């Protein structure tokens, strides 16, 4: 038996022992995996396969421990190993390790929601910066090694991380370059992903027409190839977000439901996000009571976190038509869960305005003339806010009245019945037109 085979057999036994004690003694396991990875004297397919498994196991330990710096160092240490394996396998390892940093961010977010610790947002920001730094280092390495395809794949991830870090201009600049380069290479699979990220960036910049155009381009590219359930779920998630911006909440709910089913089947961490958007659509569509039946559904029962609880609280406040209960949920009780999601934040701002309008209309209904200060006292809001909202409602023709600013009062006009004379006249002319045409037809038949 050769020395290499003996060493490999011994390392395999050490690897198995490290796996068995990984939970109990992660430090010793990590040392064993590092020893296997850094062995340069062992070559061949079996040795490479063992090193690859050790890389994944070590990355998993660092992820559980939240050691982003360790993942960053690992990605540098294994570069000599990439010279002994295929480019496809190299790309898979690099992308997987970079995704592990994103998994640390998810664990941090879950810890924050469970502990209600507002100070951990700084750590999440650091995670985003580490992701960007990791991608930048890998892109430099790809340039040195002339790995064009892998470079484009990592740049695609980098554009998403720029978006997550709210560096919109950097994201937009990079994604525009990627669109040109990927189109030139005619890589349909990567083009689907690039256009999808472009749509998210434009959506974040509130450029809805451009976001829809990018999503259409992504769908067009996806229609020419097979896309996996993960990509399809991401497309549905983005389609639902854009459709909700057009206030077509029924269609948006359908998109979010399709995305939720796909992400749930894949055990993806974004499944609760899709469920949250489903509940938001129900609330925005004036169906707050349906929120509770959706949560009790077969698929949704296993998902319970602060974001879902926030949607339940919003639905309850809206169902009660209680503005103060609604504001307490949005600005106090579930502030982080709502403010950190710009889709939910913008929609609940719209819902707050709608709820305020309904409350003002209900309070003004019994009056013909009333002081604004009295209405402000009843609704428990500052007089200036109430006056500003009433002015907006009058201009938008949502309320029939006029402000008397000299007296600080509002005069309520009675609803005048609409004069339907013009409508009846047009209907009569249409009927007469049909009669005349039929008479002409009969005259032709007699001739």
Separation of alpha carbons 160 and 228, rounded Å: 19
Is the C-alpha dihedral spanning 187, 190, 196, 202 positive or negative? negative
How confident is the model at residue 119, as a pLDDT?
40
Please name the helix (run of DSSP H) or strand (run of DSSP E) that holds residue 61, with its range, or none: helix 45-65
Which residue, 288, 246, 277, is CA-closest to 342? Answer: 277
What average pLDDT does range 181-193 have in this prediction?
92
pLDDT tens digits, 275-308 = 999 999 999 988 888 888 888 877 777 888 888 8
Extents of the domains making up the chain: 1-105, 364-414, 417-447
How confident is the model at residue 415, as a pLDDT?
66
Q: For residue 81, give both structure tokens.
A: 């190993």
Q: For residue 195, give both structure tokens.
A: 């256009």
Is the C-alpha dihedral spanning 437, 441, 446, 447 positive or negative? positive
Question: Is residue 382 within 8 Å of residue 376, measured between CB atoms?
Answer: yes
The band of 7, judged by pLDDT with boundaries at 50, 70 and 90, is low
CA atoms within 13 A on the CB side of 40: 7
Residue 412 phi/psi, 5-degree rounding, is: -95, 125
CA 324 to chain centre: 28
Alpha carbon distances (Å) from 360 to 182, 286, 348, 419: 54, 18, 18, 27
- Residue 424, SS3? helix
The distance in angstroms from the start CA to the end CA of the chain is 111
Residue 109 has pLDDT above 70, yes or no: no
pLDDT tens digits, 403-429 = 777 777 877 777 666 667 788 888 889
Domain 364-414 classification at class level: mainly alpha
**What is the number of other CB atoms lying within 10 angstroms of the CB of residue 18?**
23
In DSSP terms, 401 is beta-bridged to: 412
In DSSP terms, 412 is beta-bridged to: 401
pLDDT tens digits, 218-239 = 999 999 999 889 999 999 999 9
Helices (H), 116-224: 121-145, 148-164, 168-185, 188-204, 208-222
Residue 2 has pLDDT above 60, yes or no: no
Q: At what angle do helices 148-164 and 188-204 cross, to 10 degrees?
A: 20
CA 249 to chain centre: 16
Separation of alpha carbons 42 and 209, rounded Å: 56
């Amino acid at each position: 038996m050769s020395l290499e085979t003996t060493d490999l057999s011994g390392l395999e036994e050490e690897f198995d022992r490290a796996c068995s004690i990984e939970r109990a003694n992660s430090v010793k396991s990590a040392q064993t995996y590092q020893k296997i990875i850094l062995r340069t004297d062992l070559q061949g397919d079996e040795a490479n396969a063992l090193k690859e498994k050790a890389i994944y196991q070590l990355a998993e330990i660092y992820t559980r421990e939240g050691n982003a710096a360790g993942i960053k160092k690992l990605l540098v240490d294994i570069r000599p190993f990439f010279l002994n394996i295929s480019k496809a396998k190299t790309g898979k390892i690099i992308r997987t390790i970079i995704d592990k940093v994103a998994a640390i961010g998810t664990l941090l977010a879950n810890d924050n929601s469970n502990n209600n610790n507002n100070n951990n947002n700084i750590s999440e920001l650091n995670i985003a910066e580490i992701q960007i730094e990791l991608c930048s280092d890998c892109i430099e390495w790809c340039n040195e090694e002339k790995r064009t395809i892998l470079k484009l794949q990592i740049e695609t991830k980098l554009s998403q991380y720029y978006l997550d870090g709210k560096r919109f201009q950097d994201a937009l600049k990079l994604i525009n370059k990627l669109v040109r380069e990927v189109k030139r290479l005619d890589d349909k699979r990567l083009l689907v992903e690039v256009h999808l990220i472009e749509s998210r960036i434009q959506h974040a910049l509130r450029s809805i027409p451009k976001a829809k155009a990018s999503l259409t381009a992504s769908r067009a590219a996806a229609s020419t190839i097979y896309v996996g359930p993960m990509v399809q779920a991401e497309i549905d998630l983005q389609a639902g977000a854009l459709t909700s911006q057009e206030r077509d909440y029924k269609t948006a709910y359908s998109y979010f439901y399709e995305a939720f089913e796909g992400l749930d089947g894949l055990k993806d961490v974004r499944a609760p996000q899709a469920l949250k958007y489903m509940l938001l659509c129900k609330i925005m569509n004036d169906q707050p009571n349906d929120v509770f039946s959706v949560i009790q559904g077969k698929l949704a029962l296993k998902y319970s976190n602060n974001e879902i609880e926030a949607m339940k609280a919003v639905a309850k406040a809206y169902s009660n038509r209680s503005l103060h209960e609604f504001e307490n949920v949005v600005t106090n009780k579930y502030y982080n869960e709502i403010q950190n999601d710009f889709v939910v934040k913008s929609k609940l701002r719209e819902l707050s305005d709608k709820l305020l309008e309904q409350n003002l209309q209900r309070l003004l209904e019994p009056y013909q003339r009333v002081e604004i200060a009295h209405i402000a006292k009843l609704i428990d809001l500052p007089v200036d806010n109430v006056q500003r909202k009433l002015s907006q409602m009058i201009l938008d023709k949502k309320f029939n009245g006029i402000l008397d600013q000299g007296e600080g009062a509002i005069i309520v006009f009675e609803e005048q019945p609409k004069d339907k004379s013009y409508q009846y006249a047009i209907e009569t002319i249409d009927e007469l037109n049909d009669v005349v045409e039929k008479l002409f037809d009969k005259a032709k038949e007699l001739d």
